[in-house]
Amino acid sequence: MPRNTWKFGPRPDMERPGMAPQYSKELLLSMYRKMYLIRRFEERAAQAYTQGKINGFCHLYIGQEAVAVGTTEALRPDDYQLGAYRDHAYPLTRGADPGMVMAELFGRATGYCKGKGGSMHIFDVEHFVLGGYGIVGGQIPLASGLAFASRYRNDGRVTVCYFGEAAANQGAFHETLNMAAKWSLPVIFLCENNRYGMGTAFARVSPMPEVYKRAAGYGIRGEPVDGMDVLKVYEAVKDCAAWARSGKGPVLLEANTYRYRGHSMSDPATYRSKAEVEQHRKGDPIPKLRQYCVEQLKIPESEFEKLDAEVKALVDGAVKFADESPEPSLDELHEDVMVEPGEPDVKPRERVLGAKVEWPRWPGPQEYRVTWDLEPRAQAEEAEQQAGLKQPARA
């Protein structure tokens, strides 16, 4: 593996020319559709929450759509993704069934996780979305394990680990970046900096509030990106994924974004002003992309109106599906606690919709060999020799 040679600071080739017209119409419309799907889905989830149909903690992604969509579009479909509890968007970008995601929020048997996980724990393994996690920063070490598996088996996958900026103050963040950097693991640590950890402005609890700068401490590549611009996210993730995939090690990418709603449905967000929220709404990534497509690329408005109507109908259908779905059977209570010998994994779309699904298959005991070194002997010996000899100069 090449040694990591990234030097901290913006690169000259980082000056990206905004929304350059090199994107296909299909890609742009796909991005728009996915962002609008998330927006509409979350709005209907909020409505269902106020109606008492969704309970517990429910964290909405409204405002941050450009991050998940730009990221997914830039990845291979079998690259791993996982994130925290603001997680409805991740499977939706990957082609998950919106009705089954909504059903999970409703706590119904037809949800992706049989209603056992709820809003904070949505897993769509078929689409390599490996969960939403409820302990701040708890998913970060897992990401290094997914990336370790990719290096171990040399399967060319990249892992994207979403986390909020506040998670960067957890020990898990430090421990993981240290290991991932030392072992050049193919992972993008994608910080979604939405400015607040619940009600605490990040700068109130962080002496260096630009998260990407912490990459310097691990000798890895770190950079910020405008998280309110889907094409900028797309470009950045594409570049970072190529970097990580080629063996150059992890990247710490900080997407500066903003959530329009409170931390969760139970948070009235009194710690920020209406004017602040309004200002950020002016940079809303969805109308921004639409305006660009209409004005610069002359895609007719009517195409977007058609898309909007389709998405609205899709989400209406999702809510209806969730609402009409049964609650889990009590027989489920003792299922999925332990795996019994020979017990297969549950494939949600097959279980709920009877769909034929292509399920990830991991290589068996003798299907490959591991012949490469994580730490070549010579490298280890050199480090050992220098550890005792190279004393730092005393002032």
Partner 1 sequence: MPEIAWREALNQALSEEMERDVNVFLMGEEVARYNGAYKVSQGLLDKFGSARVVDAPISELGFAGLGVGAAMVGLRPVIEMMTWNFAVLAMDQIVNNAAKLRHMSGGQLRCPIVFRGPNGAGGRLSSQHSQSLEANYAHFPGLKVLAPSTPADAKGLLKAAIRDDNPIIFLEAELLYGVKGEVPTGEHLLPIGKADLKREGKDATIITWSRMYYFAEQAAQLLEKEGIHVDLLDLRTLKPLDEEAILASVRKTNRAVVVEEGWNFCGAGAQIADLLQLKAFDELDSPVERVTGLDVNRSYAAVLEKATEVSAERIVAAVKKVMYREEGT
Residue 56 Ramachandran class (φ > 0 left, ψ -120 to 50 alpha, else beta): left
- Is the Cβ of residue 16 or residue 121 nearer to partner 1 in the bound state? 121
Reduced to 3 states (helix: H, G, I; strand: E, B; else coil), residue 283 is: coil
Task: Give me the torsion for CA of 333, 338, 339, 340, rounded to 10°.
Answer: -90
Instruction: Find out whether 297 and 25 touch, Cβ atoms under 8 Å.
Output: yes
Instruction: Find out whether 41 and 315 touch, Cβ atoms under 8 Å.
Output: yes
Residue 305, number of CB atoms within 10 A of its CB: 10
Instruction: Find out whether 249 and 180 touch, Cβ atoms under 8 Å.
Output: yes
Min CB(161)–partner 1 separation in Å: 9
- Is the Cβ of residue 228 or residue 244 nearer to partner 1 in the bound state? 244
Q: What's the N-to-C CA distance of the chain in angstroms? A: 36
Min CB(102)–partner 1 separation in Å: 15
Q: Which x/- pattern, by CB under 8 A, does the window 3-42 give for partner 1?
A: ----------------------------------------
Query: Among residues 279, 360, 382, 385, which is the contact residue for partner 1, using CB under 8 A?
Result: 360
Contact stretch for partner 1 (CB under 8 A) within 11-19, 38-46, 111-119, 203-211:
111-119
What is d(CA 82, CA 295) in angstroms, rounded to the nearest whole number? 35
Is residue 338 within the footprint of partner 1 (CB under 8 A)?
yes
- Is the Cβ of residue 123 or residue 162 nearer to partner 1 in the bound state? 123
Choose among 157, 45, 188: nearest CA to 104: 45
Is residue 346 within the footprint of partner 1 (CB under 8 A)?
yes
Q: Which x/- pattern, by CB under 8 A, does the window 287-326 give for partner 1?
A: ----------------------------------------
Query: Among residues 146, 160, 236, 244, which is the contact residue for partner 1, using CB under 8 A?
Result: 146
> What contacts 367, CB < 8 A, 6 or more positions away?
none
Beta bridge partners of 196: 201
- Is the Cβ of residue 31 or residue 54 nearer to partner 1 in the bound state? 54
User: Which residues bind to partner 1, rule: CB under 8 A?
Assistant: 80, 111-117, 121, 123, 125, 130-131, 133-135, 138, 140-149, 151-152, 171-172, 175-176, 178-179, 182, 335-339, 341, 343, 345-348, 360, 362-377, 380
